[in-house]
Amino acid sequence: MPIRIVLADDHVLVRQSLRSLLEREGIEVAGEASDGQELVCVAASLRPDVAVVDIGMPLMNGVEAAGELRRSSPQTRTILLTKHNEDQYVTEALRAGIKGYVLKNQAANDLIHAIHQVCRGGFYLSPSISQTVVDAYLSKAVTPPDPLTSRERQVLQLISEGKSTKDVACLLGISAKTAESHRSRLMQKLDIHETASLVRYAIRRGLIQP
């Protein structure tokens, strides 16, 4: 029985290239998504073995989506496919429960190896980042945990993408009053009171890309 995959990337050409690569290796691409919210819905419906996810997606980034998948589709193992090897991206991914972290500048068979490894219950990090980042993570010499809840991080990402409170409410299916409450609370927690500073914080935490 072939491994079943869902691909999530906001670039159609990237998804098409990945689909061709995986299908040549006998891996079934069961579905695709263009943002993190769509990924969570698609995975809940299809229950794939693995989700191959880009970090920098709109509405909900790959790290947040990985955290949501742990709750909504716990049998799905998440592999992040990204150009980012900075510590903050990798450690946030580890906290979110990802099973694989593959750099886009690696050979194609790196991703194939990662998929087979996580399907066997293992864990995979591209060789160029594994040693230093895992050592730092295990020694806790990393960025302090984010004080925000998952919902507050979603609101922060949307604000940082330029969405209004009304837009945030609509996208998350909540009232404008609730969206404003989340915004006020996260600003209070972070002691940040202007949008530009929120954007800088979101970039540092890997929620959005500069």
User: In the prediction, which pLDDT does 134 show?
Assistant: 65
What is the CATH T-level fold of the domain 150-204, as seen in this structure? Arc Repressor Mutant, subunit A (1.10.10)
Give the residue with greater pLDDT, 209 vs 50.
Answer: 50
- What is the four-CA torsion angle of 66, 70, 75, 77, rounded to 10 degrees? 30
Examine domains 4-138 and 150-204 and report if their fold is the same. Answer: no
Checking if the pLDDT of 79 tops 60, the result is yes
User: In the prediction, which pLDDT does 76 show?
Assistant: 96
Helices (H), 47-149: 62-72, 87-96, 108-119, 127-138
Checking if the pLDDT of 142 tops 60, the result is no
Of 42-51, 76-85, 126-135, 154-163, the one with minimum mean pLDDT is: 126-135
Residues 6+ apart with CB under 8 A from 156: 148, 186, 198, 201, 202, 207
Checking if the pLDDT of 136 tops 80, the result is no
Give the full edge-to-edge strand order of the sheet including 4-8: 28-33, 4-8, 50-53, 77-82, 100-103, 124-125
User: In the prediction, which pLDDT does 141 show?
Assistant: 52
Checking if the pLDDT of 144 tops 70, the result is no
Tell me what the pLDDT averaged over the chain comes to.
Answer: 88
Q: Which residues pair with 81 in a beta bridge?
A: 102
What residue spans define the domains of the chain?
Answer: 4-138, 150-204
User: In the prediction, which pLDDT does 143 show?
Assistant: 56
Burial of 26 (0-12, 13-18, 19+ CB in 10 A): exposed
CATH code of the domain occupying 4-138: 3.40.50.2300
Instruction: Quote the radius of gyration of the chain (alpha carbons, Å).
Output: 17
User: In the prediction, which pLDDT does 202 show?
Assistant: 87
Share of the chain above pLDDT 90, in %: 56
**Spatial separation of the C-alpha atoms in residues 34 and 10, rounded to whole Å:** 4
Q: Average of pLDDT values for 21-48?
A: 95
User: In the prediction, which pLDDT does 137 show?
Assistant: 63
Residue 167: pLDDT band with limits 50, 70, 90 = very high
Furthest-apart CA atoms within the chain: distance in Å: 53
The three-state secondary structure class of 135 is: helix
51's tokens: 């989700």
User: In the prediction, which pLDDT does 88 show?
Assistant: 74
Q: Average of pLDDT values for 14-40?
A: 94
User: In the prediction, which pLDDT does 115 show?
Assistant: 96
Overall pTM surpassing 0.85 (yes/no): no
